Chains A and B, each alone.
Chain A
């Protein structure tokens, strides 16, 4: 199994897609609850596996293009088939996943094994009939959106009009129509005329969940810009600019790096957005630009270790974050296979671990704690024994239920709320 690089539930939550470093997409489907086991919530089983992207070579620049899937985004379901967008660094693909559980029998012109029948032998006409067969799930690429990005794509986001979507790379954001692959519109371009003056890059972008003209993008300097596509074709000028003033007392050489935003997500109700930087998660009210309304410390104990984390490059890890369906709880990952949940109402936070040892099937997860100093209590882990190779960068929350998917390197963990 390869390292998982993205996790995403579809709109109904029945399907869960994962993308990995090898360019593969694996889709899990939730089993329907059976009448015989009414209290047992559906489990997720593999539904479809396909190779989305292959490694490529850019001959002009003599560079390899990785097949790693950076993001997957589902389209809302409009017919029996399911559609998703998957992207690597350079190319976005629209995949159709459809089921086939019947096949036609009794053709006139060919045999059951496909060989053509001799027309002379055909004495009578018959109507082919549909017979059931074992379920087959097919994935086929329906659109390939290529050659629009010079830099590495970090985000894709489907618009609420379900007709367009955006793709963002380090310096540009493009708007696409789902039906048109040979043209895309550039809506944000922050590339300086002189590349030597480059000091800031785009790190994430997302469309507003309800307003189809609004999107946000975050930067490596810890700022978020909200843009309105009605104001101009090129949204280089923002409508709103979100930035928290820096705390001068905690300034260090690493201040800018840790302020770089790795993920931005709108709340389901569209009133808030959440940003993830290296040490914290912040919730912003879209009507207040000068500071976030809530800040949650994910692993503040790492602040004194920034130099080592810079040395081993961990400081550049890009953690994602997600909301639950009600926007009452937020979740994000950390190191040592820990992930954190913050209840916005009670202000309580939990640290849980996704590992084989602590996650026997149906076992209840024990909350974990990191010892920040002084005497280490039993069951606590000291900061120095944290495994920085075990990082949880990708998590996803079911859109309506308390079901979460946590990707720990090359393992996928699914957790659900305690069933009372």
Chain B
């Protein structure tokens, strides 16, 4: 369809299609810039969080920039946010783990032959022949609870980032109060580990790789390898188990 748009071309020549394509191309590049600014800001917030004595002025300014970007992205619909999300920032990660767990137990209870995580252990042998298509549908069903609004993988990152940074912004200021980096990393580990695991799993499965967001997200989640929170230890174990299974397939 939009073969022309995919090719890199000088927009010197014809107007009509080229013009509109140029327009389309201009917008994503602004979005990309904005996205990379958002990622950079989140990394900075993380980094200054890891410092012994974070500079409060700098943190506040970066946090305000992040909020600004978020507001703008919400306004022009890039985010496709449902407003309830703003209140349920902590719920996002819980949504992932509990939904998977719920599905697994639910499917098991109902005994459905649905490509859900829970049934994987049972269906593993039988599904092997079907291969990638099975896993693809599995991953897409995993994606759905994570990202209620958008279908695109690219859109998911702002979503994650929003959930992450909303919580992180709040936590950052609380913990700047308390000034104990360790507890912050605990809090982050609660959020990030689950994402990180799903992340590796999903990128492994899906053909389209993430853009620069990968780096941003990985660095974002990298400090969260310290003491794991007792609350999500069971969740993490479940996810580890699931990851192992998926990766093997």
Which A residues fall within an 8 A CB radius of B?
61-66, 89, 151-152, 170-171, 195-196, 198-201, 203, 220, 253-254, 256-257, 260, 307, 310-311, 313, 316
Shortest CB-to-CB span from B180 to chain A, Å, is 7
A257 contacts across to B, CB distance below 8 A: 61, 65
Q: A196-B170, A253-B37, A253-B68 are in contact. Are A63 and B58 (CB under 8 A)?
A: no
Q: Dominant SS at the B interface?
A: helix
B101 touches A (CB below 8 Å): no
**In contact, B173 and A260 (Cβ under 8 angstroms):** no
From B10-18, B49-57, B143-151, B207-215, the one touching the partner chain is: B49-57
Kindly list chain B residues whose C-beta atoms are within 8 Å of the C-beta of A316.
55, 57-58, 61
Q: How many A-B contacts if CB must be within 8 Å?
A: 66
Evaluate contact between A195 and B176: CB separation under 8 angstroms: yes
Can you report 25 residue pairs joining A to B where beta carbons are below 8 Å apart? Answer: A61-B179, A62-B179, A62-B180, A63-B52, A63-B179, A65-B53, A152-B53, A152-B55, A152-B56, A170-B57, A195-B174, A195-B177, A196-B170, A196-B174, A198-B173, A199-B63, A200-B60, A201-B57, A253-B69, A260-B57, A307-B33, A310-B37, A311-B40, A316-B57, A316-B58
In the assembled complex, the CB of B66 is this many whole angstroms from the nearest CB of chain A, namely: 10
Report Cα–Cα, A121/B170, bound state, in Å.
Answer: 79
Say whether B45 faces chain A, with CB atoms less than 8 Å apart.
no
Known A152-B56, A170-B57, A253-B69; contact A199-B169, beta-carbon cutoff 8 A: no
Q: Which residue in chain A gives the minimum CB-CB distance to B38?
A: A253
- Asked if B86 lies at the interface with its beta carbon under 8 angstroms from chain A, I say no
> B56 and A64: CB pair below 8 A?
no
Please give, as numbers and ranges, the residues of chain B lying within 8 Å of A253 by CB-CB distance: 34, 37, 65, 68-69
Which of B58, B61, B173 is within 8 Å of A196, CB to CB? B173
Chain A CB within 8 A of B85 CB: no
Answer whether residue B64 sits at the interface, using C-beta atoms and an 8 A cutoff.
Answer: yes
Q: A152-B55, A260-B57, A310-B40 are in contact. List 11 more A-B contacts (CB 8 A).
A: A63-B179, A64-B52, A66-B53, A89-B53, A198-B60, A220-B57, A220-B60, A253-B34, A253-B65, A253-B68, A256-B65
Q: Report the bound CA distance from A152 to B59 in whole Å.
A: 13
- Ranked nearest first, the 6 interchain pairs of A and B with the lowest CB-CB distance are A195-B173, A61-B179, A170-B56, A196-B170, A201-B57, A257-B61
Most buried by A among B40, B63, B64, B170: B64
Closest chain A residue to B182, Cβ basis: A62
**B188: shortest Cβ distance to chain A, in Å?**
16
Q: Across the interface, which residues of A come within 8 angstroms of B55, CB to CB?
A: 152, 316
Query: How would residues 54 to 85 of chain B score, 1 for a CB under 8 Å from any chain A CB and 0 otherwise?
Result: 01111011011100110000000000000000
Complex alpha-carbon distance, A316 and B56, angstroms: 12
Within the assembled complex, what's the spacing in Å between the Cα atoms of A151 and B57? 10
CB of A229 to closest CB in B, whole Å = 25
How far, in Å, is B70 (CB) from chain A's closest CB? 11
Complex-state Cα separation, A64 to B56, whole angstroms: 15
Bound Cα distance from A253 to B170, whole angstroms = 21
How far is A256 from B65 in the complex, measured between Cα atoms in Å? 8
Tell which of A61, A195, A200 has the most Cβ of chain B within 10 Å: A195
Is B40's CB under 8 angstroms from A64's CB?
no
Complex-state Cα separation, A196 to B178, whole angstroms: 13
Which chain A residues border B61 with CB–CB below 8 Å?
220, 256-257, 260, 316
Q: How many residues of B contact A (CB 8 A)?
A: 27
Complex Cα distance, B56 from A195, in Å, reads 11
Q: Say how far A134's CB is from chain B's closest CB, in angstroms.
A: 42
A313–B65 alpha-carbon span in the complex (Å): 14
- Mask: chain B, 30-53; 1 = CB below 8 Å from A; 0 = not: 000110010010001000000011
Cβ–Cβ contact B57 & A203, under 8 A: yes
| Complex interface bits, B155-192 against A, C-beta within 8 A gives 1, otherwise 0 | 00000000000000110011011111000000000000
What chain B residues lie within 8 Å of A307 (beta carbons)?
Answer: 33, 37
Set of chain B residues within 8 Å of A64, measured between Cβ atoms:
52-53
Interchain CA distance A373-B26 in the complex, whole Å:
25
CA distance A65 to B52 in the complex (A): 9
With A152-B56, A220-B60, A311-B40 as contacts: A256 and B68 at CB distance below 8 Å: yes
Does A256 contact B37, Cβ atoms closer than 8 Å? Answer: no
Q: Are B58 and A199 in contact (CB under 8 A)?
A: no
> Within the assembled complex, what's the spacing in Å between the Cα atoms of A308 and B66?
17
| Chain B minimum-CB-distance residue to A307 | B37
A201 CA / B56 CA spacing, docked (Å): 8
Q: Which residues of B contact A89 (CB under 8 A)?
A: 53
Inter-chain contacts of B170 with A (CB < 8 A): 196
The answer on a CB contact under 8 Å between B56 and A151 is yes
Shortest CB-to-CB span from A299 to chain B, Å, is 19
Shortest CB–CB separation between residue B222 and chain A, in angstroms? 19
Taking CB atoms, residues of chain A closer than 8 Å to B180 are 61-62
Give the contacts of B108-124 with A (CB-CB under 8 A).
Answer: none
Give A60 Cβ to nearest chain B Cβ, in Å: 9
Collect the chain A residues with CB atoms within 8 Å of residue B177's CB.
195
| Docked CA distance A316–B65 (Å) | 13
A200 to B64, CA, bound (A): 9
Question: Bound state CA distance, A254 and B40, in angstroms?
Answer: 13
Complex interface: chain A residues within 8 A of B68 (CB): 253, 256
Q: How far is the CA of A311 from the CA of B36 in the complex (A)?
A: 11
Instruction: Give the complex CA separation of A196 and B53 in angstroms.
Output: 18
Task: Tell me the bound Cα distance from A307 to B60 in angstroms.
Answer: 18
Q: How far is the CB of B203 from chain A (nearest CB, A)?
A: 26
CB distance from B142 to the nearest CB of A (A): 31
**Contact A254 B173, beta carbon cutoff 8 Å:** no
Instruction: Determine the residue in chain A with the shortest Cβ distance to B68.
Output: A253
The closest CB in chain A to the CB of B181 belongs to A62
Report the separation of the CA atoms of residues A196 and B167 in the bound assembly, to the nearest whole angstrom: 10
Nearest Cβ on chain B to A130's Cβ, whole angstroms: 49
Cα distance A418–B63 in the bound complex, in angstroms: 48
List the B residue with the shortest CB-CB distance to A255. Answer: B68
